[in-house]
Structure 1
Amino acid sequence: MTDPASPRDERRDDKAPRTARGERTLRALLSAAAEEFGEKGFHDGSVSGITRRAGCALGSFYTYFDSKDDIFRALVNDMSGQVRDYVSPRIADARNGIEAERIGLLSFLEFARAHKEIYRIIDEAEFVDQAAYRAHYENTATRMAARLKKAAQQGDVRADVEEVHAWAIMGMNVFLGLRYGVWDDSRPAQEIADIANALIEKGIGKRA
């Protein structure tokens, strides 16, 4: 799993941190931006609010970001990477392709419950930065499609699984995360993942 102190946004050369201290400052700014935008939204959030939360000087902000738009774009990319880095290692331990999807949803529910702000931030990205918003979902779907293709090759799921199946499963996971991760997290995540996985198994599972 990626070191949480290492920001996942690929900064251009003139904005990239060059020291461990710089890495920590950049991480503090991104974490503060998640809090600021998660609570206030993009339009009401501010650079001064971010630096205050991060305990950084305004000059430190502009060392790494050009504007509020710039850090928001970096934050969307960073949060997308955090989801990937949280889920992927857990899926690697799955016994088969169907189990991988159950673990994937379970892990995502856990992440969403710990980072409820992700939904507001990603949803606002549709209007603030369409490219970052689209990349978040396209990259996720691409990883899922590759996972399903591998499962098909191993005989774990039907041979005709394709991109449509990946988007369908992702859509289910997104709304389950919203309902049982953000709106109400009282129901056991394991139970939610088991119910959803039964649908997947019946839908694309390998028939005897």
Structure 2
Amino acid sequence: MSKTEEQGKELPVLGDAAPKRDLPSTPRGLRTRASLVAAARTVFERDGFIDSRLTDITKEAQCSTGTFYTYFDSKEEALAAVLHEAQEDMLHPGPPQEHHENRSVIESLDAGNRAYIKAYKRNAKLMLLLEQVAAVDPEFRQLRLDRGQAFAKRNCKWVRKLQDEGYADPSLDPVMSASALSLMVGRMAYYKYALKQPGWGSDDLLAETATKLWVNALGIPADGSRRGD
């Protein structure tokens, strides 16, 4: 099993928030469903989930309402499909689970933060939409919470690894530290890219700041060496 497949197994699937059907068995059916998913994302991001209508989606996809119901039972199920399609990109794991042999721990952490921030920026409208729906739909709200916990759990493994290897402060609780730092970077990206908070500077500044805060919070030496070296 590849590392990507292993990571995917750790995360709840956004498509589980709504009833799922088997994928179409014909190339034409797959194309039609893909067209509907793309159209739904366009409409949801443009109009918001609450104000969007099925007729807007079918108009965007240039198909009939009956065709929509061939593949989805509701707007919620269409949204789940949109989120499922985007999850590999928008839900990047963030900090790496091991540092590259040609990178220091800090460089690896910085690379992970930059990859996460780029993915978030690409999908900022969708992330804002997920916040909107989670506020009114308990299933999507629970799913959002579950996914956040899954990421914190995975980042916790990396924090514990850094502690075991002598890079991070061993007195820190890895679960609480990973949860707090994961939330911090996620909200930074949310305010900058989804809410478009003014005065937040460049993408580089956001990534550099996030990495410095991780490094300082975990007590990693500024030169990336092991503590006490």
Shorter chain as normaliser: what TM range? 0.7 to 0.9
State which structure, 1 or 2, has the greater radius of gyration over its C-alpha atoms.
Answer: 2
Partners of 2:123 and 2:76 lie apart in 1 by 21
Does residue 36 in structure 1 map to residue 47 in structure 2?
Answer: no
Unaligned runs of 5+ in 1: 3-7
Unaligned runs of 5+ in 2: 6-13, 221-226
Partners of 2:108 and 2:140 lie apart in 1 by 26
Contact 2:97 2:157 in 1 (8 A): no
1:48 Cα deviation (Å)? 1.2
Deviates more, 1:101-110 or 1:87-96: 87-96
Does residue 17 in structure 1 map to residue 24 in structure 2?
Answer: yes
Choose which of 136, 146, 153 in structure 1 pairs with 2:154.
146
Does residue 204 in structure 1 map to residue 218 in structure 2?
Answer: yes
AA of the residue aligned to 2:75: K
- Please give the residue correspondences for 1:95-174 in structure 2 after superposition, counting only pairs within 5 Å: 95=100, 98-154=106-162, 155=165, 156-159=167-170, 160-174=172-186
Partners of 1:184 and 1:24 lie apart in 2 by 38
Contact 1:76 1:125 in 2 (8 A): no
Deviations 1:91-129 (A, max 9, x none): 478436654543333223212322231232111222343
Relative to structure 1, the CA distance from residue 89 to residue 194 in structure 2 (aligned partners, 3 Å threshold; closer, same or farther) is: closer
Partners of 1:131 and 1:77 lie apart in 2 by 15
Choose which of 199, 204, 209 in structure 2 pairs with 1:190.
204
SS of residue in 2 equivalent to 1:18: coil
Contact 1:98 1:200 in 2 (8 A): no
* TM-score when normalising by structure 2: 0.70
1:28 Cα deviation (Å)? 2.4
Relative to structure 1, the CA distance from residue 161 to residue 100 in structure 2 (aligned partners, 3 Å threshold; closer, same or farther) is: farther
Partners of 1:128 and 1:16 lie apart in 2 by 28
AA of the residue aligned to 2:63: C
1:90 Cα deviation (Å)? 9.0
Deviations 1:27-56 (A, max 9, x none): 322222222121211221011111222233
Q: Which of the pair is proportionally richer in helix?
A: 1
Partners of 1:130 and 1:196 lie apart in 2 by 31
SS of residue in 2 equivalent to 1:56: coil
* 2:8 alignment partner in structure 1: none
* TM-score when normalising by structure 1: 0.76
1:151 Cα deviation (Å)? 4.2
* 1:178 alignment partner in structure 2: 190
How many residues are matched?
202
SS of residue in 2 equivalent to 1:51: helix
AA of the residue aligned to 2:82: L
1:19 Cα deviation (Å)? 2.9
How large is the Cα RMSD of the aligned pairs?
A: 3.3
Relative to structure 1, the CA distance from residue 101 to residue 168 in structure 2 (aligned partners, 3 Å threshold; closer, same or farther) is: farther
Task: Give percent identity, aligned residues only.
Answer: 20
